[in-house]
Amino acid sequence: MSALPNDIRLDDRHPAVADTLDVVRRGLRTKPKRLPSRLFYDERGSKLFEAICEQPEYYLTRAEIALMREHAGDIAAALGPDVRLVEYGSGSGIKTRLLLEHLPAPVAYVPVEISRSALLDSVATLSTTFPQVPMQPVCADFTQPLRLPVAVRSPRRTVIYFPGSTIGNFVARDAVAIMRLMRTEMGDNGAVLIGVDLKKDPALIEAAYNDAAGITSEFTLNMLVRLNREVGTDFDITAFAHRAHYNPMAGRIETTLVSTRRQDVHVGNEVFAFGDDEAMQVEYSCKYSLEDFAELAHKAGLRVEHVWFDAEKQFSVQYLVR
């Protein structure tokens, strides 16, 4: 975990242990059981995800980085000067660096990330590369309303940047709710710049979430390791298995942790029974046609103004306005 320069202050709103415990209890009471994918991202989870992005099957990151290398100048021109760039789920900041290289006179960069370690590492690196850009990191859950830090000078506009394909981790209702939050936080003159993975050969999609090296499996199971350590659950990691398959009717990857035997899991003073082969939902990864996503944005009060693609049109970055 990197230390921040003295002139950068971390706004730390990381959820308390009691909040996480409550989320786990509620999720295990539902039928079928489910836990939110944000619980993947402790320090080890963030590093495992970076490793997933380097696997040969995982086309998404390669496609998005190729897209940004080709189109970052055009994207920055669309955003314009004097922008406050607010990034949801900032992670390692690789794509952000490509954007900041072209963005004219940004007022501030505000990364919002649930993993404190990933946030500190990213900001420490970016602040060295872009010393002229004021950085205001916020450790928080971006799915909740944010109180953005006050910028050192007034921005011409606020742009919410949501790279990767994280919007696909939410069912349509929740994705619309998040984009409505973006619409509120960007203000009247703002915009949203968002990564959207596109529908394609199901075999290619499914392989991306079942890499041969087993990194994705390790990443998924790390959620249980984290919960055992942080909130005192007693998941038997050896008695769960990663499963990810593409549901063509829903247009999404559905990732579950499957109990390999009958077992009980203790969460505080509650006991939750798992049956043999019972699947607990931990992540969706929705894929969109351009028409699908435009309709989703419309429900959030947003309009797609421009779309950029990688050369093979596997991935898109979309520019949304009111």
End-to-end CA distance of the chain: 38
How is the chain split among helix, strand and coil, in percent rounded to 5? 40, 25, 35
Q: What is the pLDDT of residues 77-96, one digit of tens each?
A: 999 999 999 999 866 678 99
Rounded to whole angstroms, how far apart are CA atoms 304 and 288?
Answer: 14
1 has pLDDT over 70: no
Q: Which element (helix H / strand E) includes 265?
A: strand 263-267
Backbone conformation region of residue 228, classed left if phi is above 0, alpha if psi is from -120 to 50, else beta: alpha
> What does pTM read for this prediction?
0.92
Q: 185-223 burial string, b = 16+ CB within 10 Å, else e?
A: bbeeebbbbbbbbbbeeeeebebbbbbeeebbbbbbbbb
Given this model, what pLDDT does residue 18 score? 86
2 has pLDDT over 80: no
Q: What is the pLDDT of residues 13-66, one digit of tens each?
A: 777 888 899 999 999 999 999 999 999 999 899 899 999 999 999 999 999 999
* CATH architecture observed for domain 59-200+288-321: 3-Layer(aba) Sandwich (3.40)
Given this model, what pLDDT does residue 61 score? 94
Closest CA to 113 of 139, 150, 80, 74: 139
| Helices and strands in the chain, H and E counts | 9, 13
Rounded to whole angstroms, how far apart are CA atoms 108 and 267?
Answer: 41
Q: What is the pLDDT of residues 152-171, one digit of tens each?
A: 899 999 999 999 999 999 99
Closest CA to 224 of 35, 32, 29, 49: 35
